[in-house]
Structure 1
Amino acid sequence: MSHGLASLFRLRPLVAVPLALTLVSTSMLGACSSPTASLPALASTPGGAYKVGAGDKLHIVVQDLQSANGDYIVEDSGAISLPYIKQVNVAGLTYREIEQGIAASLLRQGIMTGDPVVNVGPVELRPFYVVGEVNKPGQFEYRQGMTVLAAISAAGGYTYRAKTGKVAVTRVVNGKDVTASADEFAVILPGDRIRVYERWF
């Protein structure tokens, strides 16, 4: 072997080693990044009156129309079924807007005259869900003003493998699922799905 070739072969391992180290370092950095790092931040909880969604249970009272009084669950279609006026779309509406809509339907269909008095209030809001690295994943009853930390506590707290501090929250916005990252103090809404990821060791 000539002196030039021997020198070339002696140099090749010196070139390969830094390349291998670079690949290992890049791989380790990728593995250590958080699954929530690429997600947008969870939008602030919208203010104003609560808007009803599928799965909510409502209590409705119509003055002088006792047969319509009772509890109604909002269907997946976003509607409830009332006697006489049948389907009433309520998803995305406030309680006041639902009252006005029912009263207008009663008048329009000639079921009542004058100015119908309708009262709508919550019986039970749709549940939220916690999955991933918690001790008791599942579906839980929502309470007004709940935070991510309160939701995780309801699910039995973090497992020892959990990445704490940041979670992913999937929420229906304008009829579409939107997933964002949230810290423990973020306020959740009925129907939110919270995922706690495993910590990268």
Structure 2
Amino acid sequence: MTLTSHPVQFPRSRTGNASGTSHQRRIRGAASGLVLTIGAACAMLTGCSSPTASLPTLASTQSSPYRVDAGDQIHVAIQDLETVEGDYTVEDGGAISLPYLKSVKVAGLGYREIEQTIATSLVERGILTGDPVVNVRPAQLRPFYVTGEVNQPGEFQFREGMTVLAALSAAGGYTYRAKTNVVAITRTTDGQDVTAQADESTIIKPGDRIRVYERWF
């Protein structure tokens, strides 16, 4: 007797096919969710990495004549009135108190303008005649402040013509985490705080608050 060999055929499992399809769907669903999560995370990181993006730009690579403000100290000397010579602090109201003249409004004026204002007042009040010689120069201007990603944050003495770079150098330079291409400066103008973005070449002013942000790696 000759036996004929036939391959054994097993029935396909419908359950197995359904299970495989379901598994594939789960994989596709998980992948889609992962893409959405990564996209959201990237969007969040992009927003966090540019805290200055929405700020206006504080232009200035040129130094303009400084105008004094409350808190500044100026030195005043008047020829023929030696007793007046001294340092005077600009009060909150924007004036200094001088002998003979009492209150003189100086806030918002440059040094030459203050000299002219004092000279005019001396003549108008009959204290001096002709063309009084008045000399006004800075004695001690308001400090500036540096915070954020610098090595030595704090308060620093202002010098006329200082740039952001000089201010950051006074604060010990950037930390390794610092965002170095832009900073934020908050400046009080006409009693209102205004915050803008600036770079290392920007000229700063007394009372400026400079913030260095952390960069996202």
Normalising to structure 1: TM-score of the pair? 0.83
- Give the gaps of 5 or more residues in structure 2: 1-17
Match of 2:54 among 30, 38, 52: 38
2:63–2:161 CA contact under 8 A, matched in 1: no
Write the deviation string for residues 148-198 of structure 1: whole angstroms up to 9, x where unpaired: 122111011122322222110112334422211112222222222100112
Query: How do 1:6-45 and structure 2 match up within 5 A?
Result: 14=28, 18=32, 21-32=35-46, 33-44=49-60
CA distance in 1, matches of 2:59, 2:94: 23
- Identity, in percent, stands at 63
Letter in 2 for 1:133: E
* Counterparts in 2 of 1:145 and 1:114: CA distance versus 1, 3 Å: closer
1:54–1:77 CA contact under 8 A, matched in 2: yes
1:148–1:186 CA contact under 8 A, matched in 2: yes
The match for 1:184 is 200
Query: How do 1:131-146 and structure 2 match up within 5 A?
Result: 131-146=147-162
Normalising to structure 2: TM-score of the pair? 0.77
SS of the equivalent of 1:43 reads coil
Count of aligned pairs between the two proteins: 195
Query: How do 1:29-178 and structure 2 match up within 5 A?
Result: 29-32=43-46, 33-44=49-60, 48-178=64-194
Shift of 1:26: 2.4
- Highest CA radius of gyration, 1 or 2? 2
* Counterparts in 2 of 1:38 and 1:23: CA distance versus 1, 3 Å: farther
RMSD over aligned CA atoms reads 2.6
- Give the gaps of 5 or more residues in structure 1: 1-5
Letter in 2 for 1:166: V
* Counterparts in 2 of 1:158 and 1:124: CA distance versus 1, 3 Å: same
